[in-house]
Amino acid sequence: MCGRFTIVATMDELITRYDIDEIISPFNRPNYNVAPTQMIPAIMIDGEITKLDQFKWGLIPTWAKNPKIAYTTINARAETVAEKPAFRNAIKRKRCLIPTSSFFEWKKIGADKQPMRILLKNEDFFSMAGLYESWRDPEGNIINSCSIITTTPNELMAEIHDRMPVLLKKEDEELWLDPGMTEPEMVRHLLVPYPTEEMKAYPVSKAVGNVRNNGEELIKEWVQ
């Protein structure tokens, strides 16, 4: 699964990188310890307009009776995303990009678990494949929410965990967002492990396990 990540890009960097036309909800600060149910930046296409918004992490399907389902939908498995009731509408019509600088996963070492930071070797920020939905609560308020798609691990990640988020190559982002791609099979080939040779990982402080901790020290390499 993917349960923690970082986003330290500035608004200007996001606007330039994704050629944003409209900002619905600005992203104003670095987040070194993004956790489920928090609001996270996401990029989507509305007509021909590229928009930046913030979504609650944990997708709430339109048919949900209450938002508690979000705790179980932070991730969508690539292998079953087109069949699961929570995601099968979104994979057709509501795909988004979730920008990130890195993500965390816990590596089992004997009886212990060591948090690892995983990122690109060039340390650029990148896009995770996401889905989103808009849910209306009983009072009529709209909650926009999202999920991160996961896939089988590449060689680097296989030593750490049995899943990894789908990281999209820059040249594939336009296709992922394309509203004309209404059948899951049109984008399924994108839901694959990212090339191992372009990624790296290193241990970080166990302080990242506490969501109340949120500072630059969380992404520094931990040396015993």
Identity of the amino acid at 108: K
| Annotation marks residue 105 as catalytic | yes
> What is the rounded CA–CA span in Å between residue 114 and residue 127?
25
The alpha helices in the chain, defined as continuous H runs, are 11-18, 90-93, 155-158, 173-177
Which of 96, 105, 146, 173 is the catalytic position?
105
Beta bridge partners of 51: 22, 44
| Annotation marks residue 123 as catalytic | no
Is the distance from CB of 187 to CB of 175 less than 8 angstroms? yes
DSSP string, 29-87: S-EEEE-TTSEEEEEEEETTEEEEEEEEES---TT-SSGGGGGG-SEEETTTTTTSTTT
Active centre residues (catalytic): 2, 105
